[in-house]
């Protein structure tokens, strides 16, 4: 993962940069529509956005990966079945309600697909549904169907931005990344923010390309690309029931170099994955953990995840407190829970480039403490400012910089494998977001 480091001084400059990334590949259109409704389970007015991504004609070349949560949403169940269909013509996405374990959820998703297909003139099975939002509630199907013509009417080529903005929920800003491949391109959009420790994909990611790559190759390349990217991030260690990454090609541009396509796909996935963390719920510090000289990629990544998922260490980072004891606690908890004991005798740890642990003991002194505090402060995205009512919220809706809290864990094994994991701190802003989010 190597997200392009970026710094923006204000919302306008960030949005301008996003707009410059947003040119739709040939063969795609997007359209969005909003409506108000009242959920049946907890009556209180809400607003839903429908986002429609349509191809000019059904494409045989598409791929997807989905959550490994044992209670996948109905759209995931339907989406898995769609992988066996001969073509994909459209993706219909809603926010507010995720359609997970709601009675009749699959039927509701298929009705939305049927109506979408009728309006677009394609088959129901050419339409892939996606939903994100509250788990357990049922979709307002009739209200969605009533709003579908507006989404179809809004379909336009040119920019993916309406879709990037339409799919968000608690995200502070839309996420768009692109890469050129010969005469074509890949453009990706993501919705993230919370319940983010993907175990197959992140919440909702749509990767659109005009480069012609056969279906089997798309699936193989996508599955390979998600492992070091979306499957290597964690905002809060929760794994959504809706995680979905879809890659679809309109086939308009011949693919001269499959390896260039693979590299471009990996780049877009890596950048979007880091974007999802940097815009995670309540995130004030992005933490990058590089694990090296490990037995294999999987164990290196698992150790990195253990660090970014340790609540006390996450709190220390939030407070710009270099409490590196909590970092070693997290490594030790993980190593101590493995079936066979790990050899940690060669462990070396650096934070912000400063060696803090070697040869079985900490290497600390007051000057290192000062350097670590400075490193943490430099990586802070914004300072926490309490509101009078005790509800904390982010004062900025753009990424102020691309810096991370840098942690290097060298396991000292000769040769060996490495992994990079992105995570985040645990903040008042996260608690405020999630103790009151649904109410």
Give me the active site residues, please.
202
The two tokens of residue 55 are 């191809």
Closer to a second copy at the Cβ: 208 or 405?
Answer: 405
Counting contacts by CB under 8 A, is residue 366 touching a second copy? yes
Beta bridge partners of 424: 286
* Of 125, 117, 114, residue with least CA distance to 81: 125
Closest approach, Cβ 28 to a second copy, in A, equals 32
351 three-state secondary structure? strand
Mind giving me the DSSP string for 67-108? Answer: ---SS--HHHHHHHHHTTSS-EEEEEEE-SB---S-TTHHHH
Closer to a second copy at the Cβ: 171 or 433?
Answer: 433
Instruction: To the nearest 10°, report the CA torsion of 411, 230, 375, 363.
Output: -10
For the segment 313-332, give every residue that binds a second copy (CB under 8 A).
315-316, 318-319, 321, 323-326, 328-332
Binder of a second copy out of 45, 84, 121, 337 (CB under 8 A): 337
> CA-CA distances (angstroms) from residue 373 to 5, 241, 285, 316, 355?
22, 37, 13, 11, 14
Counting contacts by CB under 8 A, is residue 237 touching a second copy? yes
The two tokens of residue 56 are 């000019």
Instruction: Give the integer Cα–Cα distance in Å for 392 and 379.
Output: 19
Give me the 202-231 binding string for a second copy, x by CB under 8 A, dash otherwise: ------------------------------
Binder of a second copy out of 143, 154, 312, 396 (CB under 8 A): 312
Counting contacts by CB under 8 A, is residue 438 touching a second copy? yes
Gyration radius (Cα) of the chain, Å:
22
> CA-CA distances (angstroms) from residue 400 to 169, 173, 284, 373?
21, 12, 11, 19
Closest approach, Cβ 312 to a second copy, in A, equals 5
Q: Which residues of 407-425 are buried (b: 16+ CB within 10 A; e: fewer)?
A: bbbbbbeeebbbbbbbbbb
- Type and span of the H or E element at 262: helix 258-278
For the segment 247-306, give every residue that binds a second copy (CB under 8 A).
none
Closest approach, Cβ 52 to a second copy, in A, equals 25
Scanning 75-83, 220-228, 238-246, 286-294 for contacts with a second copy by CB under 8 A, the matching segment is 238-246
Scanning 15-23, 123-131, 159-167, 423-431 for contacts with a second copy by CB under 8 A, the matching segment is 423-431
Contact 200, 189 (CB under 8 A): no
Binder of a second copy out of 52, 276, 310, 394 (CB under 8 A): 310
Binder of a second copy out of 220, 238, 355, 406 (CB under 8 A): 238
Closest approach, Cβ 388 to a second copy, in A, equals 8
Which ranges of 279-410 would DSSP assign to H, the alpha helix?
297-308, 311-318, 324-336, 366-378
Counting contacts by CB under 8 A, is residue 85 touching a second copy? no
Contact 182, 260 (CB under 8 A): yes
Binder of a second copy out of 121, 259, 340, 389 (CB under 8 A): 389
Scanning 45-53, 80-88, 185-193, 333-341 for contacts with a second copy by CB under 8 A, the matching segment is 333-341
Closest approach, Cβ 212 to a second copy, in A, equals 34
Closer to a second copy at the Cβ: 255 or 330?
Answer: 330
Binder of a second copy out of 145, 260, 335, 371 (CB under 8 A): 335
Scanning 41-49, 205-213, 286-294, 411-419 for contacts with a second copy by CB under 8 A, the matching segment is 41-49
Counting contacts by CB under 8 A, is residue 105 touching a second copy? yes
Beta bridge partners of 437: none
The two tokens of residue 226 are 């998600």
Counting contacts by CB under 8 A, is residue 233 touching a second copy? no
Residue 389 phi, psi dihedral angles, 5° rounding: -85, 5
Instruction: Give the integer Cα–Cα distance in Å for 354 and 319.
Output: 19
Closest approach, Cβ 368 to a second copy, in A, equals 9
Scanning 9-17, 140-148, 156-164, 353-361 for contacts with a second copy by CB under 8 A, the matching segment is 353-361
């Amino acid at each position: 993962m190597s997200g392009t480091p970026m710094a923006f001084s204000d919302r306008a400059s960030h949005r301008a940069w996003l707009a410059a990334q947003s040119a739709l590949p040939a063969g795609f259109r997007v359209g969005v529509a909003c409506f108000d409704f009242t959920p049946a389970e907890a009556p209180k007015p809400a607003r839903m956005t429908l986002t429609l991504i349509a191809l000019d004609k059904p494409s045989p070349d598409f791929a997807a990966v989905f959550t490994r949560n044992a209670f996948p949403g109905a759209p995931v169940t339907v989406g898995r079945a769609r992988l066996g269909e001969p073509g994909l013509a459209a993706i219909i996405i809603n926010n507010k309600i995720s359609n997970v374990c709601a009675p009749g959820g699959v039927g509701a998703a298929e009705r939305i697909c049927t109506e979408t297909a009728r309006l677009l003139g394609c088959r129901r099975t050419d339409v892939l549904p996606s939903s994100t939002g509250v788990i357990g509630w049922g979709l307002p199907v009739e209200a969605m169907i009533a709003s579908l013509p507006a989404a179809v009417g809004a379909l336009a080529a040119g920019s993916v931005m309406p879709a990037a903005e339409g799919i968000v929920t608690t995200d502070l800003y839309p996420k768009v990344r692109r890469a050129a491949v010969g005469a074509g391109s890949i453009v990706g959009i993501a919705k993230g923010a919370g319940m983010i420790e993907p175990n197959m994909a992140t919440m909702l990611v749509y990767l659109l390309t005009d480069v012609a790559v056969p279906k089997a190759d798309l699936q193989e390349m996508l599955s390979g690309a998600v492992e070091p990217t979306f499957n290597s991030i964690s905002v809060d260690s929760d794994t959504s029931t809706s995680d979905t990454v879809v890659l679809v090609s309109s086939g308009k541009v011949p693919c001269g170099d499959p390896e260039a396509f693979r590299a471009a796909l990996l780049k877009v996935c890596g950048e979007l994955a880091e974007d999802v963390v940097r815009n995670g719920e309540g995130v004030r510090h992005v933490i990058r953990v590089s694990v090296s000289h490990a037995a294999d990629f999987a164990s290196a990544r698992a150790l990195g995840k253990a660090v970014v998922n340790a609540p006390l260490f996450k709190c220390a980072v939030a407070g710009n407190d270099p409490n590196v004891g909590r970092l070693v606690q997290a490594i030790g908890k993980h190593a101590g829970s493995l079936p066979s004991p790990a050899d940690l005798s060669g462990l070396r740890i650096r934070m912000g480039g400063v060696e803090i642990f070697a040869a079985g003991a900490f290497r600390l002194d007051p000057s290192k403490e000062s350097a670590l505090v400075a490193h943490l402060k430099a990586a802070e995205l914004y300072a926490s400012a309490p509101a009078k009512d005790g509800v904390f919220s982010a004062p900025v809706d753009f990424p102020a910089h691309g810096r991370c809290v840098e942690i290097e864990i060298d396991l000292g094994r000769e040769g060996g494998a490495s992994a990079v994991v992105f995570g985040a701190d645990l903040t008042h802003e996260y608690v405020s977001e999630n103790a009151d989010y649904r109410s």
